[in-house]
Amino acid sequence: MVFVFFDVSARGQELGRVWVDASGLHSITATLVRVENDSVVLLRADGGEVKLPLGQLSHDDQKYVSNYSEKITAENGLRSSPPPKPEVEPLEALELPQALFESAENSVLELGPALVMAGDVGLPRSLPADRSRFAFGCQDINIEMDKLDFTDDRVSRPIPIITTDKWDTRTTSVIISASTQVRFMKDTARHQVVRFDFQDGRRVVAMQHDRNVALLDHDHDNQRSLVLVDHGPVGDGGKLALAEGWQADNLRITNARAVPGASPIQTQPKVRWARFVDAQHVIVAIDSSVVLWNLVSGEPIYRIANVDLKATPALSGGHRYLAIPSYGKVDLHETATGKRLGQIKIEPKLPAVSFSPYGDSLAISTSRRIRVWNLPGAALDYDVQARESLGREPTVWVNHELLLTSSGVLMSLPMGLPIWKYDVTACEVASLGEHVAILRREPIEQLVTVKLPHPAAQVTLEHLRSSSVDIDESSWRIAGRSMWNGTQWVDRDVRIGAKPISRR
């Protein structure tokens, strides 16, 4: 695996700068993205890139590029100290108008008309960072669970929650849902919502049904979860509902609302993704639409149509921004209204998207490339390419400088280098403060919370930051790999050097 790093830290860059050629007869309005040898790469307002030789630029433009390069070398050079953690304070909680009435239990949600989107809105302008108001802390822990078949069983992503006991002691746990879809004769149906208790190191079944139940999200303010119940074996149809009662680990279903189109004569719709926006509102990707619903009244606030069926949206930590990927681009929307805030164009591929834990950056990843868009800076921060696949699912932010791709590659953004390869095949992975939660099926079924990078990878990272290390980025290979043996990482193929190894 070979990564190429581009010096693209664009914080403080002059957006929409007018560039003039040496003759003074031609110009272009664009933002400087990176410098490659004797050329510059500029980003036009429509998202396209143009590459120009430095010698063809005006004297003022060449001086501007020189100052930019000196700044990057001083502040963001390869193997330099990691960038400081962003100092971002959470914004006030986003609150939408509450329901004036409550629809009947099991009533059908309405889709509503689709929003009419304007044409090309250009790149997003500067937006305030939108981080979550909640912080999660935990320790390294391994909790075994019932046997899971990740092929036939539907297992949700791990979701952190905070519970309090009668002494108001706050405890972080992780919750998941698991539904057995294929059973042998005399097997008992298992549709469970499970809480992993970090304090006691045990697995607690908070809900068990003979009906399908899938955990979608959790509202930390009101201690209730968003679930899909009574859906088909592949997630089609069903009802969106709230699950309450985490304090006693005895969940009950309320506010069940049938997803639209669940008629015997219609094709059953499929809920592909859903998140809370506030106490009553949920944003849902259902078939080729993204809809903001008030789950109490059943009313649609807006609907965005013609969404790619394979696209997975992302919601910022404070719920203000909604990123919707599609073929060759990512649209950024205002969650409360659906208004499009801008569009980031990429190569003709369907990307995956994920917001950083500080709410200031959006990772846009394809199978061989990762870009990081800075929201307050309104420009690209990083652009990293790979020869081998990085996976097709959204990346997990380990912290402000490290990303874990769905193929298990730990990426250093400021270095533009892969640091390590972790075995997360057939695992569900989620960020959990300074830890990551990994729901594993091999070598045993368990919920694992670990800090990344682990010690061996951390040593490698510090070594790479040393100015004495001479690295040729064009031939760099991953420094090591780790497998999980049930209790810890077991390192393999560890090396530190620049010489390529054909097996990697």
Give the pLDDT score at 151. 55
Give the pLDDT score at 422. 95
Residue type, position 420, single letter = W
Domain annotation covers residue 504: no
Domain that holds residue 22: 17-74
Domain annotation covers residue 58: yes
At residue 69, the 3 state secondary structure works out as: helix
233: left (phi over 0), alpha (psi -120 to 50) or beta: alpha
**pLDDT averaged per 10 residues, the chain (length 504):** 37 68 83 81 76 89 82 50 82 90 92 84 92 86 74 79 77 86 55 87 85 92 93 86 91 93 65 95 96 95 95 97 96 96 92 96 94 92 82 93 94 88 90 90 83 92 73 76 92 65 36
Which residues make Cβ contacts (< 8 Å) with residue 493, sequence separation at least 6? 480, 481, 503, 504
For 433, other C-beta atoms within 10 Å of its C-beta total 17
Domain annotation covers residue 64: yes
Domain annotation covers residue 51: yes
Which two structure tokens, joined as six digits, stand for 142? 């391994």
The label of the residue with tokens 């008030």 reads: 294
Domain annotation covers residue 203: no
Residue 483: beta bridge partners?
490
Domain annotation covers residue 35: yes
CA 401: distance to chain centroid? 14
| pTM, 2 dp | 0.82
Give the pLDDT score at 149. 58
Domain annotation covers residue 389: no
Pairing of strands 191-197, 446-450: unpaired
Give the pLDDT score at 296. 94
Give the pLDDT score at 9. 40
Question: For the chain, what is the radius of gyration of the CA atoms?
Answer: 24
Sign, CA torsion 54/59/64/69: positive
Task: Look up the CATH number of the domain holding residue 63.
Answer: 2.30.30.700
Largest Cα–Cα separation, the chain:
83
Q: Are 246 and 259 in contact (CB under 8 A)?
A: no
Domain annotation covers residue 117: no
Give the pLDDT score at 358. 93
Give the pLDDT score at 187. 54
How many domains are contained in the chain? Answer: 1
Pairing of strands 289-294, 369-374: unpaired
